[in-house]
Amino acid sequence: MKSNAAHERSNMLDFSAEEAMQTLTESVLRAYRDLPAPVIVGIYTGGAWVAERLRRTLGVAAPISTLDIGFYRDDLALSGFKGVGSSSLNDSIDGRSVLLVDDVLHSGRTIRAALGALFDYGRPAHVRLACLLVREGRELPIQADYFGREVRLDPGQRLKLRGPEPLALEIL
């Protein structure tokens, strides 16, 4: 039985999920050092795990909110309705600062859908995006404000985050 880190390395990633988490945490901490605590919204499921870690590090007392974007996807005709988990926005986001969190930023379509969903809950003052990993292959003009690591993979490969404790990355 290999350790998570060794397993990841054998799949061509030269870092572990926890190392990426560490980098992400540091840059988010720096950014919010002098700012009021944001409403932390994690995209179900992987993004919610990363969001929970950021919440603890930032010392935000309010529980994280989760967003399932199943009803907002733009690929219904391509891949079908896969069902959804529940969203739960615990705080009003009107006029607040929102930190939107996902595990992997790739095409940008998930974030586009998440922004659509978010604005059906209210009108935030601004939204910043934190992603554990950013992967080459953007199809929309969406970038992360904070991220852990950048990765480049073959088009057929998929990155999967396992969690919540510990976080581990797998290439499928």
Residue ranges in contact with other proteins by CB under 8 A: 68, 70-72, 76-81, 83-88, 116-117, 120-122
Smallest distance, Å, CB 64 to other proteins?
A: 16
Smallest distance, Å, CB 153 to other proteins?
A: 24
Helix (H) or strand (E) holding 111: helix 109-119
Nearer to other proteins, 56 or 123 (CB): 123
Contact by Cβ (8 Å): 54, 99:
yes
- d(Cα 165, Cα 53) in Å, to the nearest integer? 10
Nearer to other proteins, 70 or 108 (CB): 70
Query: Cβ of 76: how many Cβ atoms within 10 Å?
Result: 12
Q: How far apart are the first and last CA of the chain?
A: 19
Nearer to other proteins, 127 or 134 (CB): 127
- Cα 155–160–161 angle (5° rounding)? 145
Smallest distance, Å, CB 110 to other proteins?
A: 15
Smallest distance, Å, CB 112 to other proteins?
A: 12
Nearest to 64 by CA among 84, 85, 93, 35: 93
Nearer to other proteins, 108 or 116 (CB): 116
